[in-house]
């Protein structure tokens, strides 16, 4: 899970830099914030699962479902906060960055390991 979070962090930075080169500083910030809206909830979810797996008895399905609910709620809360607080959002950069970071784990799925 740590590799997925690190990959999402790198993807967020790359998407923000590309958006910044194409659309300027507002696009860079919007893409960075869009990636963070995906990265932070996923990192919190991974941390929760890691801590739960270290407890005696391990994890149970409710831990996963509660964590997934919390992840979705956190994603919506972050998006709402950004829309409410940052009025100069470049929507194209924001949404595309969110989608790219959200789907970046496909890179690890298709990576060939000997």
pLDDT, tens only, 13-46:
999 999 999 999 999 999 999 999 999 999 999 9
pLDDT tens, position by position, 91-109: 999 999 999 999 988 877 7
Model pLDDT, residue 106: 80
Secondary structure percentages of the chain, helix, strand, coil, to 5: 80, 0, 20
Q: Once rounded to an integer, what is the mean pLDDT over residues 83-91?
A: 93
d(CA 55, CA 71): 21
How does the average pLDDT of the chain come out, rounded?
Answer: 90
The whole model's pTM is what? 0.86
């Amino acid at each position: 899970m740590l590799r997925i979070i690190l990959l999402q962090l790198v993807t967020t930075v790359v998407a923000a830099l590309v958006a910044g080169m194409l659309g300027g500083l507002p696009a860079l910030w919007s893409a960075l914030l869009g990636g963070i809206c995906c990265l932070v909830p996923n990192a919190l979810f991974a941390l929760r699962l890691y801590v739960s797996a270290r407890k005696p008895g391990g994890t149970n399905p409710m831990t996963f479902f509660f964590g997934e609910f919390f992840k979705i709620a956190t994603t919506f809360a972050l998006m709402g906060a950004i829309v409410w607080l940052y009025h100069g959002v470049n929507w194209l950069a924001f949404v595309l960055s969110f989608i790219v970071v959200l789907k970046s784990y496909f890179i690890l799925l298709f990576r060939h390991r000997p």
